[in-house]
Protein backbone atom coordinates (compact mmCIF):
# COMPACT_ATOMS: atom_id res chain seq x y z
CA UNK A 1 0.00 0.00 0.00
CA UNK A 2 1.05 3.64 -0.28
CA UNK A 3 2.32 5.75 2.59
CA UNK A 4 -0.92 7.73 2.46
CA UNK A 5 -2.92 4.54 2.98
CA UNK A 6 -0.59 3.33 5.71
CA UNK A 7 -0.95 6.61 7.60
CA UNK A 8 -4.71 6.46 7.20
CA UNK A 9 -4.76 2.94 8.63
CA UNK A 10 -2.64 3.99 11.58
CA UNK A 11 -4.99 6.88 12.37
CA UNK A 12 -8.13 4.79 12.05
CA UNK A 13 -6.74 1.95 14.15
CA UNK A 14 -5.61 4.29 16.91
CA UNK A 15 -8.92 6.14 16.89
CA UNK A 16 -10.77 2.82 17.23
CA UNK A 17 -8.47 1.71 20.02
CA UNK A 18 -8.57 4.93 22.05
CA UNK A 19 -11.52 7.32 22.10
CA UNK A 20 -9.31 10.16 23.34
CA UNK A 21 -7.56 10.32 19.95
CA UNK A 22 -8.95 13.13 17.81
CA UNK A 23 -7.88 14.62 14.49
CA UNK A 24 -7.94 18.27 13.54
CA UNK A 25 -6.56 20.58 10.91
CA UNK A 26 -7.40 22.41 7.75
CA UNK A 27 -9.55 20.40 5.32
CA UNK A 28 -9.03 17.13 7.19
CA UNK A 29 -12.74 16.40 7.63
CA UNK A 30 -15.10 16.72 4.68
CA UNK A 31 -12.28 16.67 2.13
CA UNK A 32 -10.17 14.07 3.93
CA UNK A 33 -7.05 16.22 3.84
CA UNK A 34 -5.45 17.66 0.72
CA UNK A 35 -3.27 14.54 0.53
CA UNK A 36 -6.25 12.32 1.49
CA UNK A 37 -4.51 10.93 4.56
CA UNK A 38 -7.59 11.50 6.73
CA UNK A 39 -10.09 10.32 4.12
CA UNK A 40 -12.96 8.36 5.63
CA UNK A 41 -12.23 9.34 9.21
CA UNK A 42 -15.08 11.85 9.41
CA UNK A 43 -17.53 9.20 8.22
CA UNK A 44 -16.32 6.64 10.72
CA UNK A 45 -15.64 8.81 13.77
CA UNK A 46 -17.92 11.81 13.33
CA UNK A 47 -17.44 15.56 13.48
CA UNK A 48 -16.61 15.74 17.20
CA UNK A 49 -13.44 13.73 16.72
CA UNK A 50 -12.53 14.76 13.18
CA UNK A 51 -12.54 18.53 13.03
CA UNK A 52 -12.04 20.88 10.13
CA UNK A 53 -10.49 24.02 11.55
CA UNK A 54 -10.41 27.61 10.37
CA UNK A 55 -7.10 28.76 8.87
CA UNK A 56 -5.64 29.44 12.29
CA UNK A 57 -2.55 27.31 12.76
CA UNK A 58 -1.55 29.02 15.99
CA UNK A 59 -5.05 28.57 17.39
CA UNK A 60 -5.63 24.94 16.58
CA UNK A 61 -2.09 24.05 17.60
CA UNK A 62 -2.71 25.80 20.92
CA UNK A 63 -6.07 24.09 21.18
CA UNK A 64 -4.46 20.71 20.57
CA UNK A 65 -2.02 21.45 23.38
CA UNK A 66 -4.78 22.54 25.75
CA UNK A 67 -6.76 19.42 24.92
CA UNK A 68 -3.68 17.24 25.36
CA UNK A 69 -2.81 18.49 28.82
CA UNK A 70 -6.36 17.79 29.96
CA UNK A 71 -6.83 14.28 28.68
CA UNK A 72 -7.10 14.05 24.89
CA UNK A 73 -4.58 12.82 22.32
CA UNK A 74 -4.94 15.20 19.40
CA UNK A 75 -3.38 14.54 16.02
CA UNK A 76 -3.02 17.81 14.15
CA UNK A 77 -2.37 18.12 10.44
CA UNK A 78 -0.31 21.08 9.22
CA UNK A 79 -0.92 21.16 5.48
CA UNK A 80 2.62 22.24 4.53
CA UNK A 81 5.52 21.98 6.95
CA UNK A 82 6.32 25.57 6.00
CA UNK A 83 3.22 26.57 7.97
CA UNK A 84 4.83 25.30 11.14
CA UNK A 85 6.22 28.82 11.18
CA UNK A 86 2.67 30.01 11.78
CA UNK A 87 2.41 28.01 14.99
CA UNK A 88 6.04 27.91 16.01
CA UNK A 89 5.20 29.72 19.24
CA UNK A 90 2.76 27.10 20.44
CA UNK A 91 5.04 24.22 19.45
CA UNK A 92 8.31 25.60 20.74
CA UNK A 93 7.24 27.63 23.75
CA UNK A 94 4.41 25.45 24.97
CA UNK A 95 4.20 21.91 23.59
CA UNK A 96 7.93 21.40 24.04
CA UNK A 97 8.26 23.08 27.42
CA UNK A 98 5.10 22.63 29.45
CA UNK A 99 6.10 19.31 30.87
CA UNK A 100 9.44 20.59 32.05
CA UNK A 101 8.36 24.03 33.21
CA UNK A 102 5.45 22.56 35.15
CA UNK A 103 7.89 20.30 36.97
CA UNK A 104 6.38 17.22 35.36
CA UNK A 105 2.74 18.02 36.16
CA UNK A 106 1.69 18.21 32.52
CA UNK A 107 1.95 15.75 29.67
CA UNK A 108 1.51 16.97 26.12
CA UNK A 109 0.59 14.00 23.91
CA UNK A 110 0.12 15.92 20.68
CA UNK A 111 1.11 14.58 17.28
CA UNK A 112 1.73 17.14 14.55
CA UNK A 113 1.59 15.48 11.14
CA UNK A 114 2.94 17.59 8.34
CA UNK A 115 4.02 17.32 4.70
CA UNK A 116 7.62 18.15 3.83
CA UNK A 117 9.39 18.87 0.56
CA UNK A 118 6.56 19.27 -1.88
CA UNK A 119 9.02 19.02 -4.74
CA UNK A 120 6.78 20.29 -7.51
CA UNK A 121 7.16 23.97 -8.16
CA UNK A 122 5.36 25.22 -5.09
CA UNK A 123 8.14 27.63 -4.30
CA UNK A 124 10.17 28.84 -1.38
CA UNK A 125 7.48 28.95 1.29
CA UNK A 126 5.68 25.76 0.24
CA UNK A 127 8.56 23.33 -0.19
CA UNK A 128 10.69 23.24 2.91
CA UNK A 129 11.92 20.22 4.83
CA UNK A 130 12.25 21.92 8.19
CA UNK A 131 13.06 19.15 10.65
CA UNK A 132 16.18 21.04 11.56
CA UNK A 133 14.22 24.01 12.88
CA UNK A 134 13.25 21.79 15.76
CA UNK A 135 16.42 19.83 16.38
CA UNK A 136 17.63 22.07 19.16
CA UNK A 137 14.32 22.22 20.95
CA UNK A 138 14.45 19.77 23.85
CA UNK A 139 11.04 18.29 24.60
CA UNK A 140 10.01 17.42 21.06
CA UNK A 141 10.17 14.08 19.28
CA UNK A 142 10.98 14.25 15.57
CA UNK A 143 9.92 11.45 13.25
CA UNK A 144 10.75 11.15 9.54
CA UNK A 145 9.50 7.92 7.95
CA UNK A 146 10.55 6.83 4.47
CA UNK A 147 8.39 3.76 3.84
CA UNK A 148 4.70 2.92 4.28
CA UNK A 149 5.67 0.28 6.85
CA UNK A 150 7.66 2.75 8.94
CA UNK A 151 5.04 5.46 8.53
CA UNK A 152 2.32 3.28 9.99
CA UNK A 153 4.34 1.80 12.83
CA UNK A 154 5.89 5.11 13.82
CA UNK A 155 2.63 7.04 13.67
CA UNK A 156 1.04 4.55 16.05
CA UNK A 157 3.96 4.95 18.43
CA UNK A 158 3.70 8.72 18.10
CA UNK A 159 0.03 8.71 19.04
CA UNK A 160 0.70 6.58 22.10
CA UNK A 161 3.69 8.66 23.22
CA UNK A 162 3.16 11.18 26.02
CA UNK A 163 5.52 13.76 24.49
CA UNK A 164 4.75 16.08 21.59
CA UNK A 165 5.79 14.51 18.30
CA UNK A 166 6.42 16.25 14.99
CA UNK A 167 5.79 13.74 12.25
CA UNK A 168 7.29 14.72 8.88
CA UNK A 169 5.66 13.07 5.86
CA UNK A 170 7.63 13.32 2.60
CA UNK A 171 5.46 14.38 -0.31
CA UNK A 172 7.88 12.67 -2.69
CA UNK A 173 7.02 9.31 -1.10
CA UNK A 174 3.29 9.68 -0.35
CA UNK A 175 2.29 7.56 -3.34
CA UNK A 176 5.18 5.10 -3.30
CA UNK A 177 3.96 1.62 -2.41
CA UNK A 178 5.49 -0.85 -0.02
CA UNK A 179 4.52 -3.86 2.08
CA UNK A 180 2.49 -3.35 5.25
CA UNK A 181 1.44 -6.44 7.22
CA UNK A 182 -2.14 -7.20 8.19
CA UNK A 183 -1.32 -7.66 11.85
CA UNK A 184 -0.86 -4.92 14.41
CA UNK A 185 2.65 -3.56 15.00
CA UNK A 186 4.41 -0.46 16.24
CA UNK A 187 7.98 0.76 15.73
CA UNK A 188 9.85 2.19 18.71
CA UNK A 189 11.46 5.63 18.48
CA UNK A 190 15.24 5.86 18.41
CA UNK A 191 15.89 2.75 16.37
CA UNK A 192 17.56 3.29 13.01
CA UNK A 193 16.91 0.91 10.13
CA UNK A 194 19.92 -0.41 8.24
CA UNK A 195 18.49 -0.50 4.73
CA UNK A 196 21.54 -2.04 3.05
CA UNK A 197 24.65 -3.62 4.48
CA UNK A 198 28.02 -2.46 3.22
CA UNK A 199 31.72 -2.27 4.06
CA UNK A 200 33.13 0.75 2.28
CA UNK A 201 31.12 3.75 3.36
CA UNK A 202 28.17 4.60 5.60
CA UNK A 203 25.39 6.67 4.06
CA UNK A 204 22.92 8.15 6.53
CA UNK A 205 19.91 9.37 4.57
CA UNK A 206 16.81 11.08 5.86
CA UNK A 207 13.20 11.01 4.72
CA UNK A 208 12.76 11.03 0.93
CA UNK A 209 16.52 10.75 0.51
CA UNK A 210 16.46 7.16 1.79
CA UNK A 211 15.28 5.51 -1.45
CA UNK A 212 17.83 7.60 -3.36
CA UNK A 213 20.60 6.38 -1.09
CA UNK A 214 19.39 2.82 -1.60
CA UNK A 215 19.52 3.32 -5.34
CA UNK A 216 23.00 4.75 -5.02
CA UNK A 217 23.94 1.59 -3.13
CA UNK A 218 22.72 -0.54 -6.05
CA UNK A 219 24.68 1.50 -8.60
CA UNK A 220 27.83 1.49 -6.51
CA UNK A 221 27.61 -2.26 -6.15
CA UNK A 222 28.05 -2.54 -9.89
CA UNK A 223 31.39 -0.76 -9.39
CA UNK A 224 32.29 -3.17 -6.60
CA UNK A 225 31.68 -0.63 -3.82
CA UNK A 226 29.40 -1.58 -0.95
CA UNK A 227 27.71 1.26 0.88
CA UNK A 228 25.87 0.75 4.16
CA UNK A 229 22.64 2.75 4.05
CA UNK A 230 21.06 3.81 7.32
CA UNK A 231 17.70 5.48 7.82
CA UNK A 232 17.60 6.95 11.35
CA UNK A 233 13.76 7.14 11.08
CA UNK A 234 13.59 9.40 14.13
CA UNK A 235 15.82 12.45 14.51
CA UNK A 236 14.88 12.85 18.15
CA UNK A 237 15.69 10.48 19.67
CA UNK A 238 18.54 9.87 17.24
CA UNK A 239 20.01 6.37 17.14
CA UNK A 240 23.59 7.60 17.00
CA UNK A 241 24.90 4.26 18.31
CA UNK A 242 23.89 2.44 15.12
CA UNK A 243 25.52 5.14 12.99
CA UNK A 244 28.73 5.19 15.00
CA UNK A 245 28.94 1.40 15.02
CA UNK A 246 28.62 1.43 11.24
CA UNK A 247 31.24 4.15 10.78
CA UNK A 248 33.64 2.17 12.94
CA UNK A 249 33.38 -0.60 10.32
CA UNK A 250 33.30 1.49 7.13
CA UNK A 251 35.50 4.39 8.30
CA UNK A 252 33.65 6.79 6.01
CA UNK A 253 30.46 8.80 6.38
CA UNK A 254 28.12 10.57 4.00
CA UNK A 255 24.90 12.21 5.11
CA UNK A 256 22.04 12.95 2.74
CA UNK A 257 19.16 15.33 3.37
CA UNK A 258 17.12 17.77 1.31
CA UNK A 259 17.12 20.68 3.77
CA UNK A 260 19.69 23.45 3.38
CA UNK A 261 23.12 22.23 4.35
CA UNK A 262 23.89 24.83 7.01
CA UNK A 263 22.85 23.72 10.46
CA UNK A 264 21.31 20.60 8.99
CA UNK A 265 20.76 17.03 10.10
CA UNK A 266 24.08 16.12 8.52
CA UNK A 267 25.88 18.77 10.55
CA UNK A 268 24.58 17.29 13.78
CA UNK A 269 25.33 13.70 12.79
CA UNK A 270 28.81 14.66 11.60
CA UNK A 271 29.55 16.38 14.89
CA UNK A 272 28.35 13.38 16.89
CA UNK A 273 30.41 10.97 14.80
CA UNK A 274 33.51 13.11 15.15
CA UNK A 275 32.97 13.23 18.91
CA UNK A 276 32.56 9.49 19.19
CA UNK A 277 34.55 7.93 16.37
CA UNK A 278 37.12 10.47 15.21
CA UNK A 279 39.91 7.93 15.24
CA UNK A 280 37.98 5.62 12.95
CA UNK A 281 37.47 8.12 10.15
CA UNK A 282 39.70 7.63 7.11
CA UNK A 283 38.28 10.52 5.12
CA UNK A 284 36.42 13.78 5.63
CA UNK A 285 32.69 13.52 6.17
CA UNK A 286 30.62 14.64 3.20
CA UNK A 287 27.22 16.24 3.64
CA UNK A 288 24.98 15.96 0.61
CA UNK A 289 22.19 18.46 1.13
CA UNK A 290 20.14 21.20 -0.48
CA UNK A 291 22.05 24.37 -1.26
CA UNK A 292 21.45 27.29 1.11
CA UNK A 293 18.73 28.91 -0.98
CA UNK A 294 14.95 29.10 -0.88
CA UNK A 295 13.42 26.51 -3.22
CA UNK A 296 12.83 28.18 -6.59
CA UNK A 297 9.77 27.45 -8.73
CA UNK A 298 11.45 27.15 -12.14
CA UNK A 299 11.79 23.37 -12.72
CA UNK A 300 15.48 23.19 -13.67
CA UNK A 301 16.41 25.34 -10.68
CA UNK A 302 13.97 23.61 -8.31
CA UNK A 303 15.44 20.21 -9.19
CA UNK A 304 18.86 21.45 -8.13
CA UNK A 305 17.64 21.78 -4.53
CA UNK A 306 16.91 18.07 -4.14
CA UNK A 307 19.96 15.79 -4.04
CA UNK A 308 19.99 13.12 -6.74
CA UNK A 309 21.23 9.56 -6.85
CA UNK A 310 24.11 10.79 -9.03
CA UNK A 311 25.19 13.29 -6.40
CA UNK A 312 25.25 10.59 -3.75
CA UNK A 313 27.22 8.26 -6.01
CA UNK A 314 29.67 11.03 -6.82
CA UNK A 315 30.12 11.84 -3.14
CA UNK A 316 30.99 8.22 -2.43
CA UNK A 317 33.41 8.08 -5.34
CA UNK A 318 35.08 11.25 -4.11
CA UNK A 319 35.69 9.61 -0.73
CA UNK A 320 37.17 6.33 -1.93
By the criterion CB under 8 A, which residues form the site for other proteins? 20, 22, 48-49, 51, 53-54, 56, 58-72, 74, 89-90, 93-94, 98-106, 138-139, 141, 162-163
Cis before 123 (ω within 30): no
- How far from chain centre, in Å, is Cα 196? 20
The span from the CA of 37 to the CA of 194, in Å, is 27
Q: How far apart are CB 167 and other proteins at their closest, in Å?
A: 16
Of 164 and 266, which has the nearer Cβ to other proteins? 164
Q: How far apart are CB 151 and other proteins at their closest, in Å?
A: 22
Question: What DSSP string runs through 158-182?
Answer: HHH-SS-EEEEEEGGGTT-B----S
Whether 118 is a known active-site residue: answer no
Of 139 and 153, which has the nearer Cβ to other proteins? 139
Intra-chain end-to-end CA distance of the chain, in Å: 38
Q: How far apart are CB 125 and other proteins at their closest, in Å?
A: 18
Of 99 and 195, which has the nearer Cβ to other proteins? 99
CB-CB contact of 7 with 32 (8 Å): no
Instruction: Report the C-alpha dihedral over residues 17, 22, 27, 31, rounded to 10 degrees.
Output: 30
List 5, 57, 169, 257, catalytic entry? 57
CB-CB contact of 77 with 113 (8 Å): yes
List 126, 268, 311, 314, catalytic entry? 126
Q: How far apart are CB 67 and other proteins at their closest, in Å?
A: 4
Whether 171 is a known active-site residue: answer no
The span from the CA of 117 to the CA of 130, in Å, is 9
Q: How far apart are CB 14 and other proteins at their closest, in Å?
A: 16
Give the CA radius of gyration of the chain.
19
CB-CB contact of 76 with 21 (8 Å): no
Active-site residue list? 57, 126
Amino acid sequence: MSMVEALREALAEEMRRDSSVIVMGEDVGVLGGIYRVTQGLLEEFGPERVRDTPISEEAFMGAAIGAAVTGLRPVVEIMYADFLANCMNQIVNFAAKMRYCSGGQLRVPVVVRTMVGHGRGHGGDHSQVPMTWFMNIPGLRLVAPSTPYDAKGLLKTAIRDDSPVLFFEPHLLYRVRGPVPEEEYTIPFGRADIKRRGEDVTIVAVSAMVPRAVEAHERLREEGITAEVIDPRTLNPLDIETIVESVKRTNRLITVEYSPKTGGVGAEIAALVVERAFDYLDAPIIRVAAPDVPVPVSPPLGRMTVPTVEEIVEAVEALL
